[in-house]
Amino acid sequence: MPKELEFVKDLDKIIILAQGPSWYQCPDEWDEKTEVWGSNSIYRDHKIDRLFFGHDIRSNMLDDDYDLVPHLNDMGIPVYTSGIFKVLKKSTQIPLLELMQEFRVGFFLNVITYMIGTAVLQRPKTMDLYGVDMRPDAGGESYQNEKGSVEFWCGVAVGRGIKVKTTAESFVLKTKQEGFFPNAKAKVPQKGIYSLIPEQDRNKETLKQYTVLPVGDEI
């Protein structure tokens, strides 16, 4: 891997930034011991240090990101892809072989799982997830299949001693009825997704990013 594309070991924090509704909570500034890793077209909305694509980049270009290649080449940030795209000046493949050799498992169902697995290899102290919501109103596959894959790699991170933090409205590492532990903690009443959105963010503009499900235990 070219030196300018090599990862930094032992950071204080790696932030995984995806495109779920809670992405806007990602900090706008960070110190030299923190990196923000973005997925797909999030670079258009937030500053990042590294960018990851789990699919052919042409799918992003067809999905209203026509100027993807010139934009990324102008930005000059490292880009990690599932294939080889010579049109990108500063790009290399996601280290899948290294991941497979290290963990002996290939449970990768989306780009976020590649990002988390790769981040674990860099041994950060903490890993914060923004926009990684895996919400039940995001679609059946995302919730039923991809959610489990994301949570598996979060578990790998925790097992390596990395502290994992998600947003309040994320469903990652949470059960359907959160918080019931007999003789230890009462069940948290299910009040619908609206209750998970931070109170200070319940305004007209922010709510445009959400499909707010009704009250009830159906979620």
At the fourth CATH level, the homologous superfamily of domain 9-174 is Alpha-2,3-sialyltransferase (3.90.1480.10)
How far is residue 155 from each of residues 12, 152, 158, measured CA to CA in Å?
19, 5, 5
Quick one: pLDDT band at residue 58, thresholds 50, 70, 90?
confident
Query: pLDDT by residue (tens digit) across 158-176?
Result: 999 999 999 988 889 876 5
Contacting residues for 141 by C-beta, under 8 A, at least 6 apart: none
pLDDT at 143: 60
pTM of the shown model: 0.82
Cβ density class 79-93: b for 16+ within 10 Å, e for less: bbbbeebeebeebbe
Tell me the domain boundaries of the chain: 9-174, 177-219
Q: Contact at 8 Å (CB) between 128 and 12? A: no
Share of the chain above pLDDT 70, in %: 79
Locus of tokens 């042409």: 58
Tell me the C-alpha distance between 32 and 19, whole Å: 24
Average pLDDT, the chain: 85
pLDDT of 132 > 70? The answer is: yes
